[in-house]
């Protein structure tokens, strides 16, 4: 408003000049806001930052699994720190996932979803995973990978939310590997069980590395809480 008032005294009542001036200053304000965002190091996880944090670790973990190896084979599992993720994070421009396939968080539950039941049963779970085979991934290198759905329980705590996202990331990579190997008819339940086993084995290591790299686990922005579900 102050800029508009100043324009009025300088440019008079010429509407075209006033509009041109406002557009110029608005564009400049947006540019400097964008630059400011690039300089800020975020220590909380949203979906983009979580993918950037997990994707290399997920690939390494799944590679070790194929060779029958666990956390003891990679005690120095590397997760990027705040600065590394800051350099990769995209603002304003469209973000393209670094993980194969598509992830939907807390989507409306429909008949097209195949719910993947936890080995220990649904009761007491803080999140559930499913796949929508009617929605294959749109990226060329992940063609044929079904869309993964992740639902959080209304009672899920921030660390449990991050753990659920980590498992979803593992499942996406396992589905990608199966697709690349030509196993189009692979058992979803088996891959889901593998992702559960990997989370159980690796989460202590991953959780500790998150803290060591400065990532907060007490606050997360990975979902819309109002869209969570009740898991009985």
pLDDT in tens, 62-79: 999 989 999 988 877 889
Confidence of residue 156 (pLDDT cuts 50, 70, 90): very high
DSSP the chain: -HHHHHHHHHHTT-HHHHHHHHHHHHHHHHHHHHHHHHH----SEEHHHHHHHHHHHHHHHHHHHHTT--GGG-TT-----HHHHHHH---SSPP--SSSS-EEESPPP-TTEEEE--TT-STT-SEEEEEEEEEE--SGGGTTPEEEEEEEBTT--HHHHHHHHHHHHHHHHHHHHHHHTT-TT--HHHHHHHHHHHHHHHHHHHHHHHHHTT--SSSEESS-GGG-B---
pLDDT in tens, 185-198: 568 899 999 999 99
Domain edges within the chain: 2-38, 44-227
């Amino acid at each position: 408003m102050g800029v508009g008032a100043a324009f009025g005294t300088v440019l008079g009542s010429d509407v075209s000049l006033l509009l041109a001036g406002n557009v110029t200053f608005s564009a400049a304000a947006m540019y400097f806001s964008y630059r400011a965002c690039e300089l800020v190091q975020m220590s909380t996880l949203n979906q983009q930052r979580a993918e950037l944090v997990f994707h290399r670790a997920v690939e390494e973990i799944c590679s070790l699994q194929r060779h029958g190896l666990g956390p003891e084979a990679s005690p120095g599992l590397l997760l990027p720190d705040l600065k590394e993720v800051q350099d990769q994070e995209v603002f304003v421009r469209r973000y393209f996932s670094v993980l194969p396939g598509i992830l939907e968080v807390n989507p409306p539950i429909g008949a097209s979803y195949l719910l993947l039941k936890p080995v220990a049963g649904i009761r007491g779970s803080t999140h559930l995973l499913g796949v929508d085979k009617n929605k294959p991934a749109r990226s060329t290198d992940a063609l044929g990978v079904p869309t993964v759905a992740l639902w959080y329980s209304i009672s899920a705590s921030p660390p449990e939310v991050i753990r659920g996202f980590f498992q979803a990331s593992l499942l996406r990579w396992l589905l990608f590997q199966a697709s690349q190997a030509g196993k189009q008819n692979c058992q979803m339940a088996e891959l889901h069980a593998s992702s559960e086993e990997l989370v159980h084995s690796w989460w202590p290591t991953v959780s500790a590395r998150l803290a060591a790299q400065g990532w907060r686990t007490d606050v997360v922005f990975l979902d819309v809480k109002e869209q969570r579900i009740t898991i009985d």
